Structure formats: C-alpha cells, structure tokens
A and B are shown apart, each in its own frame.
Chain A
Amino acid sequence: MNMTTNDYIVQVEDLYYRYDKENVLENINISIQKGSFLAIVGPNGSGKSTLLKLMLGLIKPQKGSISLFGQDISRFREQHKIGFVSQKANSFNTGFPATVFEVVASGLTKKLGLFQFLRKSDHEKIKQAIESVGMEQFLDRNIGELSGGQQQRVFIARALVSEPELLILDEPTVGVDAKNVNSFYEMLDSLNKEKGITLLLVTHDIGTISDKVTNVACLNKNMHFHGSAEEFEQLKINEVSEIYGHDVHVLTHDHHHHHHEEAHIHD
C-alpha cells in the first residue's frame, strides 16, 4: 500500500464539489503516477478548472480527499513541488513592464521565502528554465512584446524555475498558433522524458491532444474515462462524442446513469 502512495503524485478519491446547490464535480477518482503525462479533457463547463483549483488547494471540496505527494492536501506545504500555468488570457496585464527574466524569476518567490533575495545560483536556474522552453534570446524583452505562444512558454519557464515535480497546465494551447502547437508539445515531451517532470494538462479541445500524452481522463462532472492513451484511442469515437455531447444536450441526459469507468494506469 505504501509503495503505491509513493508512486502516485496526486490521488483524488470520491471527490464532490458543489457550487450554488449544484454539483460541479461528482464522485471523482483520479490518480497521477510519477513520470506520466496525463491529459484531462472535457467540454467547457465540465468542471476541469474546478478540479484544478481543488488540486491546487485554492478551494475546498465538500466531500472526498485529495493527497499530494502522499500527504493530505490540508497538510501539504511543499507548493514549490507543483508548477502551475494558468490560462494566460485572463490572468495578466499585457502592458505590464516586466522582462522575461523578471517574470521567470517571480516563480522563485515562494521557494526563496520572505525577506530573501536572488542569489547567483538562482540567476543560473532562471536562465536554465528560460533555455528549457527555448526563449533564451528574449531574456530582456518585455513580456507584452511577445506573441501568445511565446508568453505561454515564459509562463512555463516561470513554473519550471522552482524545479517542480509536477507541472499543471490549464488550456496551454489556447493562444498558441496552430502551426506552433506541435513544437509546443515537443517541448512538453522533453520536459516529461528528459527532466522526468510529471505533466497534467487540461484542455477542452480533444483535437489538440498529442501522441506525447501517456494517459487520458475524460471529465464531464463525472469521470467518464481514466486510462492509458492507448486505451483512449480504442474508445469508440461515439463514446467520446457522447461525453462531449453533454454540454449541448445537457437537459436530455441524466449524468447519474453513467457508471464510472475506472481503468488502471499501470498493471
């Protein structure tokens, strides 16, 4: 039993979240194995962002448990182990006068702690994080001068600089040009394989899920599928579209009749 808890970076059990008397998430079970690259897909309003907020400890569930790195979330204090890249569009002011270096450096804020300043070794770390997302030639550019995709890379570097073991990305390909999505996934793949960073990616766009992903979970209030990428491919196409149909035909479907499928990530 202990062996498995160490293997799993995130374990969510029987999670329920209610907002305004309505269940946003029901009976969610999900586990993320160390070193995996999990994509959670679901239509808009399926509760994806809520699930992320719960995992980050920004909101508390009414029922169920979340453990991070084998510790219950209420006792978890090693936030620097988790890097978070939010949907960039709604969270920052593009006219903000900060260079790429300064933005990435801000990722060390919590890890360094209060009343601490950047040391020389931190400068190296910041440069390495910027290099690992291929943005080294933009070090002294203001963040607002970059394209959407470049900004997204900078935010990933900001998350990477504290050397997280788990990187959570919320709709990372929104605002990235279609032609750059592939190279974006290449970069994520190298973070996953070369640096051994566990990745959790959340997206509404099933078409952008790349073959680099190792595991897939389909979410629409309930967890409809949770298994390996191969198993996901074998899912009949109409099953997937059924999950997606929910936001369109929400009144005609009864969510409770969908039984929960649980597939193990590894055998």
Chain B
Amino acid sequence: MISGLLQYEFLQNAFLTGMIIGVIAPLLGVFIVVRRLSLIADALSHVTLAGIAASLLLEKKFMLFSGLNPLYMGMAFSVGGSLFIEKLRTVYKHYQELAIPIILSGGIGLGVIFISLADGFNTDLFSYLFGSVSAVSRADLWTILIISILVIAVVVSLYKELFLLSFDEEYARATGIAAKSLHFIFIVMVALVIAASMRIVGILLVSSLMTLPVAASIRFAKGFKQTIFFSILFGEISVLGGLFLSYYLDLAPGGTIVMIAVLILVLAIWYKKQAAARSI
C-alpha cells in the first residue's frame, strides 16, 4: 500500500481527498446534527446526482462539454438545491421538514430522466453512487482542497455565531445576530461539501459521513469543541480505514467507509453503556 501510494497518482489523489473530506464532512456534520437537519444532507446529495447526470448527458451529446468535470455541475445543482430548500422552508413555515422530501425526490427524478436520456453512460455511474478509489483526478483534488480551505476558514471565523445559531436560534436573533444570512452561508457550505465528498464516498452515502461520526461523538464528548474533535477523528479513521480496505478487497469505498463509521458508532454506544454501568 505504501509503495502503491508513492507509485500511483490515483492512489495519492484518493487518499489526500479522503483525508480532506474526513475533516470537512464531520465538521459541518456537527452543526447539521445538532440543528436536526441530518436529512438535508441526504436531499442535497440526491440533487448533486442530478447535476452529475446532467453533466454526463451534456458530455455525451455535445462535443463542447467533453472536457467538463461533472463535479462542477454537481456542485452547482447542490448549491441550487440548498437555496431551494431554504425557499421551501419559508413557504411551508409550519411543515419545514417537507422541503426535504420535495428536494430529495425532485433530485432523483431529474437524475433518472437525465440518465435515461443519455441511454446509459460510458463513465461508470456506479463510481458516483458508491465512491471510487481510482476515479479521483488531480483536478478533483485541487477543487476539493480549495473548497475545504474556504469552508474551514468560514467555520473558524464565524464559529461563535454558528454555535449560537445552532444552540439557540431565538436568542441569537434577540441579540441581533444576522441569523438569516448566517443560515444561508451555512447551507451553501453544506452543499459544497456534499459535492466535494461525493467522489470518495459516493452520492448515496455522503450524508452518513456527515452524521455517523457525530452520532458516535455526542455519546460521550464533553462540550461542543470536543464533539467536533472526536467527530473529525472518527471521520478520518472511517475514511482512511475504508479506503485501505476497499483498495485491498477491491470494494467500493463508500461501503467500507460507512461500515467503519457504523462500527465506531456501535463501539461508542457500548462504551457509554459500560461507563454508565460503572458509575452506578
């Protein structure tokens, strides 16, 4: 593996990308989970699929688009979907969760239409659905790196505002925090991170990388910063362990990454139970 890492550019791309998304997906995931927006990640990943499918369709039908990286269109769709969710949440004030199934099914519907219009793809759609060790290009890596730097910079500089908005939105508004703009920035970041993570984890499993490490971490973490720390730690273990296994066992990395995250979650729940039993 080590020699492979030194030898093959595709492996370097996959591992570096994996290390990056192992940080940013759980980082945003903490805010998503505590704000009870876990399903938004799912909805946006399905919209991303529509973007990927649209891009692949254009690539197939028009020479002009042959060089277009599907990642860009996936991102554009994801960000568009996030804005649409926000719009729907204000339309259905009393049924805010309705926005999620609407966007989710809309994304799948659109994706399926594009896929059938293209009459199947040359590119392996499978790798977009479940992730791939070999599909990450240098261009993908650079795009994902830029997004991550942006996201980390925003989270660090707006940390206390994001914390307050997540903890107590009413109080945040009462103290004069620009809750609406902050929420907008947040949801766009989520959309970008989902599109960025999709190459490795796959569209169908992206949301689990944002939620499972956090679910494990809040079982025992003291405080918010510790929750973030453990979420990122578990995210990294899942991604790197998952990539390693998928390379050796020739499996789609999405599956191995998620199963390691599930294992960590089970251990965290078990650990908490043991700790509770000992304290009695």
Contacts and interface: CB of A to CB of B under 8 A. Distances in A.
Contacts of B174: 56, 58, 84, 86
Given A86-B171, A92-B167, A93-B36, A99 B222 contact: yes
Max chain B C-beta neighbours (<10 A), residue from A97, A106, A158 = A97
Interface string B174-210: 1111000000000000000000000000000000000
Contacts of B61: none
Contacts of A106: 160, 163-164, 167-168
Contact of B171 (A91, A95, A112, A118): A91
A97 B227 contact: yes
A58 B164 CA distance: 17
Interface residues of A, number: 32
A91 B170 contact: yes
B86 interface: no
A263 interface: no
A115 interface: yes
B158 interface: yes
A101 B225 CA distance: 11
A98 B218 contact: no
Nearest to A100: B223
Given A102-B163, A114-B161, A97 B175 contact: no
Interface residues of B, number: 29
B173 interface: yes
Given A84-B171, A106-B163, A106-B167, A101 B34 contact: no
Given A101-B223, A140-B222, A110 B175 contact: yes
Interface string A120-158: 000000000000000000001110000000000000001
A103 interface: yes
Contact of A97 (B168, B172, B223): B223
Contact of B161 (A103, A109, A142): A109
Given A101-B223, A114-B158, A96 B167 contact: yes
B223 A140 contact: yes
A152 B175 CA distance: 18
Contacts of B225: 102
Contact of B218 (A86, A97, A101, A105): A97
A23 interface: no
Interface in A235-253: none
Contacts of B173: 58
A112 to B, nearest CB: 7
Contacts of A105: 160
Contacts of A95: 218
Given A109-B177, A110-B176, A140-B222, A97 B160 contact: no
A108 to B, nearest CB: 8
A68 B226 CA distance: 39
A74 interface: no
A115 B157 contact: yes
B221 interface: yes
B65 interface: no
A146 to B, nearest CB: 13
Interface in B12-35: 34
A210 interface: no
B270 interface: no
A105 B161 CA distance: 11
A92 B174 CA distance: 14
A180 interface: no
Contact of A98 (B36, B175, B176, B224): B224
Interface of B: 34, 36, 157-158, 160-161, 163-164, 166-177, 217-218, 221-227
Given A102-B223, A142-B222, 14 more contacts: A58-B174, A84-B175, A93-B34, A97-B224, A97-B226, A98-B163, A99-B224, A106-B160, A106-B163, A106-B164, A109-B160, A109-B163, A140-B223, A158-B171
Question: 7 tightest A-B contacts by CB?
Answer: A99-B223, A97-B227, A110-B175, A79-B176, A106-B164, A98-B224, A91-B170
Interface of A: 56, 58, 79-80, 84, 86, 91-93, 95-99, 101-103, 105-110, 112, 114-115, 117-118, 140-142, 158
